[in-house]
């Protein structure tokens, strides 16, 4: 069966199951297609599972909206946490020349890249909106490397299903391969034509424009490819699901 008709069939099945037989059947159907999010087991689980499964099936690879240059926000709002730790302050004092991004886990060739080495990869710029779950948002241009290119350089091993994004502070989030390999998902070193400011997560952050702001991990130091998020933190796929937000935050 082609991808499209399989999708259409499943979508109909999901809607019918949710409508007539309750969430339980719909979530079992989603599970059959591997579309249960890591936090799908909790009290909000069935709802989160339906949102995730429906988005993956309906939205598919659809890109996040990109904006014309004149819509870039004049005064973007940095939701700045305190400097993550002393090591960050030390690296910052050295102009971030010693900053490294590790790419490890289920990969053939673990990578440890400086910012200069990252900039050797093909560069991609896009003007997208960062929308916080608290209701504010801004539009900016981000420049960086497609996460897909980094994963290709590292060579993903079979079974790879999620990429956990680890920063220097306690924040962390995992994304599935649909987002990890999406061309708009980038590891950003630049913002609005300059180096990414520390206030916005510099020198390096994730931009996952198809999801809410909290998935765009700042101060990025490690990308860990895993087959499951079970053994990371409390096993819910991120620090935000651990405090009650949905793991999947598609917009
Ligand atoms: N490492 C790290 N990443 C983070 C956060 C954080 O506190 N630490 N805050 C998140 C939240 S809730 C949002 S809305 C965005 C804010 O990005 P901004 O600084 O560009 O506004 O970063 C996300 N990434
Ligand atoms: Mo946020």
pLDDT tens track for 31-86: 777 788 898 876 667 788 888 988 888 878 899 999 999 999 998 987 777 778 99
Does the Cβ of 214 fall within 6 Å of ligand 1? Answer: yes
| CA nearest ligand 1 atom 20, residue | 200
- pLDDT band for 1, please (50, 70, 90 cuts): very low
Q: Tell me the best of 214, 220, 222, 251 to mutate to test the pocket of ligand 1, counting ligand atoms within 8 Å of each CB and taking the most.
A: 214
First CA to last CA distance, the chain: 29
- Does the beta carbon of 211 sit less than 6 angstroms from any atom of ligand 1? no
> Confidence class of residue 7 from pLDDT cuts 50, 70 and 90?
low
* Stated pTM of the model: 0.90
Q: 173-225, pLDDT tens digit by residue?
A: 999 999 999 999 999 999 999 999 999 999 999 999 999 999 999 999 999 99
Q: CA-to-CA distance for 184 and 173, rounded, in angstroms?
A: 17
User: Does ligand 1 lie within 6 Å of residue 136's CB atom?
Assistant: no
Which tokens belong to 55? 């988005």
| pLDDT, position 165 | 98
Arithmetic mean of pLDDT, 102-128: 98
Give the confidence band of 14 by pLDDT, cuts at 50, 70, 90.
low
Structural domains of the chain sorted by starting position, each given as residue range(s) with its CATH number in brackets: 3-58 (no CATH), 69-242 (3.90.420.10)
Cα 220 to middle of ligand 1, angstroms:
11
The atom number, within ligand 1, closest to the CA of 132 reads 14
> What is the percent of the chain with per-residue pLDDT over 90, rounded to a whole number?
71
pLDDT for res 3: 52
Q: Which of 84, 87, 70, 62 is nearest to 178 (CA)?
A: 62
Residue 5, pLDDT above cutoff 80:
no
Paired with 224 in beta bridges are 104, 164
Q: Residue 28: its pLDDT value, please?
A: 74
DSSP label of 62: P
pLDDT of 78: 77
């Amino acid at each position: 069966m082609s991808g499209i008709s399989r999708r259409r069939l499943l979508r109909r099945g999901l809607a019918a199951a949710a409508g007539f037989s309750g969430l339980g059947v719909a979530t079992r159907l989603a599970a059959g297609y591997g579309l249960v999010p890591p936090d799908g087991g909790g009290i909000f689980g069935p709802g989160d599972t339906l949102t995730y499964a429906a988005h993956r099936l309906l939205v598919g690879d659809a890109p996040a909206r990109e904006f014309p240059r004149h819509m870039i926000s004049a005064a973007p709002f940095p939701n700045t946490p305190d400097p993550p730790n002393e090591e960050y302050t030390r690296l910052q004092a050295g102009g971030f020349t010693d900053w490294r991004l590790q790419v490890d886990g289920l990969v053939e060739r673990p990578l440890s890249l400086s910012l200069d080495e990252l900039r050797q990869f093909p560069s991609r710029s896009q003007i997208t909106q960062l929308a916080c779950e608290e209701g504010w948002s801004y539009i900016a241009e981000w420049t960086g490397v497609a996460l897909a290119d980094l994963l290709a350089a590292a060579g993903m091993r079979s079974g790879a299903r999620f990429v956990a994004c680890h920063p220097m502070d306690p924040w962390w989030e995992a994304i599935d391969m649909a987002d990890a390999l999406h061309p708009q998902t980038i590891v950003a070193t630049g913002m609005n034509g300059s180096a990414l400011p520390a206030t916005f997560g510099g020198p390096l952050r994730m931009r996952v424009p198809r999801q809410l702001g909290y998935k765009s991990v700042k101060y990025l130091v490690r990308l860990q490819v895993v087959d499951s998020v079970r053994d990371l933190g409390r096993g819910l796929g991120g620090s935000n699901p651990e405090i009650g937000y949905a793991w999947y935050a598609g917009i």
